[in-house]
Amino acid sequence: MATLNVANLHVEVSGKRILRGVSLEVKQGEIVALMGPNGSGKSTLFQTIAGNPNYRIVEGDIAIDGVSIKDLAPEERFNKGIYVSFQSPISVPEVRFGFLIQAVMNKRMGRKMDEPNPKMAEALKIAEEIGLRRDIFDRGVGVGFSGGEFKRAEVLLAYLMRPAIAILDEPDSGLDIDGIAAVSKIISSLARESSGVLLSTHYARILKFLEPDRVYVMYSGRIIMAGGSEIVKRVEEVGYEGLFKESGVFQ
């Protein structure tokens, strides 16, 4: 059972310190929520875990099963079982989305990338369940995708890929309440069947459909609170400013 450990992580971007001693843990089979207002450092943490070279680790470590990955290239981290979806995904018009799905499933099954996959019908069924139209498979990756379609597509990829750890940056962004419910169902299945899930969100709404094993709250590049669903409830009741005042962050 794989475990992702982030330990005392300090990160600079363009010479500016963004993360200031972040520590958290995600195990396979868990859903871990990372909450916090805009600018708290959630996306910076995810970019750093993914290995973006513009995010410089000044201190601390990132490890899978106790083995550091902080010096590995992004593709090597992917091969270790780390999948990261980003807040602002990029388009790849040269690659048809259906081919990407086929290649992902073939890689997991040890088949050639361009070989027809017998489970393509399953992928189409799941896509339909989360609200992706069939024609999206014939378009280039990201071509004409709405924000909600991007998020649905990323969750579909994560589910089909079955990584050890799936890291999802704001998977509820751009989705209406029905879309959030559908995507949450797939995320729950992903954690139950194969993966650890670390997801970020500003709002508590997606966590009405998921049952996180642990909730972390970030503020100003630090984890300032960790606990369970009681944190989600309190954020809904008083907002982040109220929560921070209660916890003494603003004192």
- Per-residue tens of pLDDT for the chain, all 251 residues: 899 999 999 999 999 999 999 999 999 999 999 999 999 999 999 999 999 999 999 999 999 999 999 999 999 999 899 999 987 677 888 999 999 999 888 888 888 888 888 888 888 999 999 999 889 999 999 888 888 898 999 999 999 989 999 999 999 988 999 999 999 999 999 999 999 999 999 888 899 999 999 999 999 999 999 999 999 999 999 999 998 888 777 65
Number of domains in the chain: 1
Structural domain of residue 52, as residue ranges? Answer: 3-88+164-174+194-247
Q: Whole-model pTM?
A: 0.92
On whether residue 188 sits in a domain, the answer given is: no
The Cα 220–Cα 222 span in angstroms is: 6
According to the model, what pLDDT value does residue 251 have? 55
According to the model, what pLDDT value does residue 6 have? 98
On whether residue 102 sits in a domain, the answer given is: no
The Cα 34–Cα 215 span in angstroms is: 6
Q: Give long-range contacts, CB 8 A cutoff, 24+ apart: 159-162.
A: 159/126, 159/186, 159/189, 159/190, 160/101, 160/104, 160/105, 160/108, 160/123, 160/126, 161/83, 161/104, 161/107, 161/108, 162/108, 162/190, 162/193, 162/194, 162/195
> What is residue 118's DSSP assignment?
T
CB 155 within 8 A of CB 187: yes
3-state secondary structure of 77: helix
On whether residue 207 sits in a domain, the answer given is: yes
Q: Which amino acid is located at 154 in the chain?
A: E
On whether residue 18 sits in a domain, the answer given is: yes
On whether residue 228 sits in a domain, the answer given is: yes
- How many Cα atoms occupy the beta-carbon half-sphere of 115 within 13 Å? 12
The Cα 139–Cα 189 span in angstroms is: 27
On whether residue 158 sits in a domain, the answer given is: no
According to the model, what pLDDT value does residue 250 have? 65
- 112 burial class (0-12, 13-18, 19+ CB within 10 angstroms)? exposed
On whether residue 84 sits in a domain, the answer given is: yes
Contacts of 69 (CB under 8 A, 6+ apart): 51, 62, 63, 76, 77, 80, 82
Nearest one of 151, 169, 152, 161 to 190, comparing CA atoms: 161
CA 216 → CA 15, 52, 101, 200, distances in Å?
A: 26, 23, 32, 9
On whether residue 230 sits in a domain, the answer given is: yes
Integer Rg of the chain from CA: 18
Domain with residue 234: its CATH number is 3.40.50.300
